Amino acid sequence: MEHRLARETVDILTSPKGALRRLNELGTRFDRLLARTERQRNALTHGTGTTNAAVSGIDSFAVVLARYAANEVMHQVITGKEPLIQLERDRAHALERDARLEAGEDPLGVLWRDG
């Protein structure tokens, strides 16, 4: 198992295609967890019920999302800035990052850029 993890890590860090593939895998995982969380929210909201196993499958993800939302609200209140500005910047950065990887740039330079 250690050899497989090392091989995958080397691929991600040295191959633009490998890095992009891993980012896509993580994006798919996020989308899947978000959809499961939404289904659980809907089940609770509409009273159709749920199971402990279903809730435990999304519990930590839902906590992270709630913390992120709370931090965003607090940031907005403290700074008076428009909501979700940093999230939009991060999204734009992710699109730029993906384009650079698709263009074949070095993953280390793309993923760990200065600023």
Q: What is the mean pLDDT of the chain?
A: 90
Q: What is the dihedral of CA 47, 52, 54, 56, to 10 degrees?
A: 130
**Residue 58 CB coordination number (10 Å):** 21
pLDDT band at 81 (very low <50, low <70, confident <90, very high): confident
pLDDT band at 72 (very low <50, low <70, confident <90, very high): confident
Q: Whose CA is closest to 110, among 41, 44, 18?
A: 18
Distances from the Cα of 20 to the Cαs of 28, 31, 63, 101, in angstroms?
12, 16, 27, 6
Residue 115 has pLDDT above 50, yes or no: no
The tokens describing 32, both together, are 């899947």
